[in-house]
Structure 1
Amino acid sequence: MIGYNAVQVFVAPQAVAGNWLRLQHKGTEMVAVVKADAYGHGLIPVAQALARVGARRFAVGTVAEGVMLREALPGAQIIALLGIQDVSDAVACRDYGIVPLVTHAGQWPLVRRAAAAAARPLAVILKFDTGMARLGFAWEAVAHVVEALRAAPMLRPVAVFSHLATADDPEAADFVAEQTMRLTAIQAALAAVGFSLPASLANSAALVAHPAAHFQWQRPGIALYGANPLAGTAWEDRCPPLISAMTVTAPILQVRDIAPGVSVSYGRTFRASRPMRIAIVAAGYADAYSRGLSAKAAMVVGGVRAPVLGRVCMQMTAVDVTHCPSVRPGDRAYLLGGPGEAAITADELAAWWGTIPYEVFCLLGMNPRTLV
């Protein structure tokens, strides 16, 4: 077979399942968020592992993801967070029993037509904007939503959702309380006219830090994959210890010794101040190892940290292995994870990158994956 994938992603679905169990006591009824290919970890194996430990509700991003998941989990409730975008989405929700979010008035005709062709009512979830200014009906527009529901008895609302904007920031707890108050009012207004629905607002951070925002369903996402949603804040210890589910490695192509004054990589942004040994790792920005990590990040080589030297290239990155004399070409460098205490966490890599663990997982997870 011709072909060589240098960067390899190793995913442990059982670690995701273990994190679910660690978080379970924090909530009441949890919805596993597996959108965007389970944050780069692999939709089907992750969802199946979660189902084995009791998860029964799953939130995907697109309806297309929901169709893929339905084939693997025929009995689960599958929720499409982005809702119905066109007629094909509507038909898929009807045919595969996927529950779409309805977020704006333009979606009513699509869900009505799909429901009219079904032998049973079409389940939907109502999405309200309580402060994110993203998807959702205006929180003051409950009366209009009720009117639309009454005009479409073939639709069966099963829940009401909103989304928190600042749950991971202890300094912004007041806004979490404000959004909680708004969803409470929406839920009460719907109940007053005959639509008594469970509500869901809490993401991973709110699950562990804002019990008043729990409502009836909670939606853990990033925490399932081993990242503490409150890392680096005063509330970091409110999250139970979690297990990282993703490890990313790449092979070392060459090891070379350089003398003082020798520059490394494009732009000569790094020059050796002493005799050094460097390793050239087969990973770069073409593999989603960002150029923004230049001279900031580290990899794990030979069980210890090896700082990135100079600029990250398209498919190669130089690291300092002066303190790793046994390193040879063909050895593996760890971009994420690694053995023992030297392991690089998603939070660390995100900080060097200038981003968040969500992006780290989603981008690196696009490389070839192996289940472990």
Structure 2
Amino acid sequence: MAIRYNTFEVGVDLRAIRHNYRILCEKGSNVYGVIKADAYGHGMIEVARALESEGADTFAVGTVGEAVQLRRSGCEKRIISLLGPLNEADCLALAEDSIIPFVGCFDQLNMLVSVAEKHQLEIEISLKFETGMSRLGFSIDELAELIKTLKAGPQIRPVMASSHLATSDDPAYEGYVDKQAEKFMFILNTLESAGFKVEASLANSAGILKHDNVHFTAQRGGIALYGANPLSGTSWEDLGSRLKPAMQVRTKIAAVRELKKGQSISYGCTYTAQKDMKVAIVCAGYADGYSRGLSSKGAVCINGRRALIVGRVCMQLTAVDVSSIPDVKFGDTAYLLGGEGEGAISPDDLASWWGTITYEVFCLLGLNPKSYVE
């Protein structure tokens, strides 16, 4: 790992994450910091501390294990586990570390009730509802049974309710967002009539930036925290234009060499030089989370200019065309994400070449060693 640290490094600007959180707070209120999956690859504990300095008092992680890790790091704020408990050990951890789980099915709820009764525990939960994502959550048809179960097991206390928007980043489906909000409002009213008044959360990043009608009493700030515009490529794009990407990914150049006309490079001879070229071999490949799908598609930033990938991305090496970039030499820095000047690589650029979304780019590249700017 030490050798890899010297060649391939993820830099995270915590100032940008704090800036992005302030933007979300301008639009919303009571914005949770969503830091699941190691804060989308940016570093869960470091990001939580940065957001806490901006006044964030609720953090949403993925698994109960992540929640325990965050709590044990010294975080005293409210922590939510979006996946919730999957076994008895998870249930006990919730109680021990004061973690609020999302609970969205009767198997999960009944397990919690059973463990709470067995160990004489009281556990706060967030009820998860299905309003149009068709993934997790109680349905409207299950409301009556849910209320009955909750009243029969008072040791399980709902303090939140949530659902997840499926199309908040797509202008073509704005009406679908409205329908989800209507269903969620019906659920909240039904719960309140039954004596369960809860903090309500429906809006994600795109919901915060665009859909005021889905804000309710809390919102969940996710991808926008990390500077990726969830509305990019749509007519709503300007609403996220002030967001600042927080991640840069850089590596070193292992060699600079000549490639003669007619000469092929890398596995499979998939790229053949049409003229004499100069290529740089950069220390990055699919072992670092830099996708093989970028072969002859993507680019890196060297000396403020873009260098196109030529041939197949290898396990730890990638060849790029530096014919038009002067003074490129062994040991220079190549940016896979970020960089300086006109050649800087944006998260959307990289995701587009990769054929994926910024979420996956961050999560995979973020598995590498990280350094932080405060």
Q: TM-score range by the shorter chain?
A: over 0.9
Aligned position for 2:23:
22
Aligned position for 1:83:
84
Aligned position for 1:195:
196
Aligned position for 2:352:
351
Aligned position for 2:57:
56
1:23/1:240 contact within 8 Å kept? no
Deviations 1:165-219 (A, max 9, x none): 1111111111111111110110011111111112111100111011111111100
For residues 254 and 65 of structure 1, the distance between their equivalents in structure 2, rounded to whole angstroms, comes to 40
Deviations 1:282-315 (A, max 9, x none): 1011111101111111100111110111111111
For residues 137 and 164 of structure 1, the distance between their equivalents in structure 2, rounded to whole angstroms, comes to 15
Q: How does 1:311-330 map to 2 (within 5 A)?
A: 311-330=312-331
Aligned position for 1:47:
48
1:94/1:114 contact within 8 Å kept? no
Deviations 1:244-285 (A, max 9, x none): 111101111110112211112122222212221100011011
For residues 175 and 145 of structure 2, the distance between their equivalents in structure 1, rounded to whole angstroms, comes to 28
1:256/1:277 contact within 8 Å kept? yes
Deviations 1:118-146 (A, max 9, x none): 67631100001111111111122111110
Q: How does 1:1-372 map to 2 (within 5 A)?
A: 3-5=3-5, 6-116=7-117, 121-372=122-373
Deviations 1:30-65 (A, max 9, x none): 111000000000110000000011000000000011
2:61/2:82 contact within 8 Å kept? yes
Local SS of the residue matching 2:79: strand
1:254 maps to a residue whose letter is A
1:296/1:307 contact within 8 Å kept? yes
For residues 41 and 244 of structure 2, the distance between their equivalents in structure 1, rounded to whole angstroms, comes to 16
Deviations 1:54-112 (A, max 9, x none): 00000000001101111234420100000110011000000000000111000123322
For residues 77 and 117 of structure 1, the distance between their equivalents in structure 2, rounded to whole angstroms, comes to 25
1:335 maps to a residue whose letter is L
For residues 317 and 203 of structure 1, the distance between their equivalents in structure 2, rounded to whole angstroms, comes to 36
For residues 235 and 3 of structure 2, the distance between their equivalents in structure 1, rounded to whole angstroms, comes to 47
1:217 maps to a residue whose letter is A
For residues 171 and 191 of structure 1, the distance between their equivalents in structure 2, rounded to whole angstroms, comes to 33
For residues 12 and 312 of structure 1, the distance between their equivalents in structure 2, rounded to whole angstroms, comes to 27
1:268 maps to a residue whose letter is C
Q: Call closer, same or farther: CA 1:2–1:333 in 2, change over 3 Å.
A: closer
1:284/1:316 contact within 8 Å kept? yes
For residues 46 and 128 of structure 1, the distance between their equivalents in structure 2, rounded to whole angstroms, comes to 28
2:305/2:341 contact within 8 Å kept? no
Of 314-323 and 116-125, deviating more is 116-125
When normalised by structure 1's length, the TM-score is: 0.97
Gaps of 5+ in 2: none
For residues 147 and 113 of structure 1, the distance between their equivalents in structure 2, rounded to whole angstroms, comes to 16
For residues 154 and 31 of structure 2, the distance between their equivalents in structure 1, rounded to whole angstroms, comes to 28
1:48/1:73 contact within 8 Å kept? no
CA shift, 1:370, in A, is: 1.4
1:295/1:310 contact within 8 Å kept? yes
For residues 20 and 97 of structure 1, the distance between their equivalents in structure 2, rounded to whole angstroms, comes to 25
Q: Call closer, same or farther: CA 1:27–1:118 in 2, change over 3 Å.
A: farther
For residues 311 and 320 of structure 1, the distance between their equivalents in structure 2, rounded to whole angstroms, comes to 13
For residues 99 and 237 of structure 2, the distance between their equivalents in structure 1, rounded to whole angstroms, comes to 35
How many residue pairs get matched? 372
Q: Call closer, same or farther: CA 1:117–1:69 in 2, change over 3 Å.
A: farther
For residues 54 and 342 of structure 2, the distance between their equivalents in structure 1, rounded to whole angstroms, comes to 29
1:22/1:240 contact within 8 Å kept? no
For residues 4 and 348 of structure 1, the distance between their equivalents in structure 2, rounded to whole angstroms, comes to 25
Local SS of the residue matching 1:31: strand
Identity in percent: 49
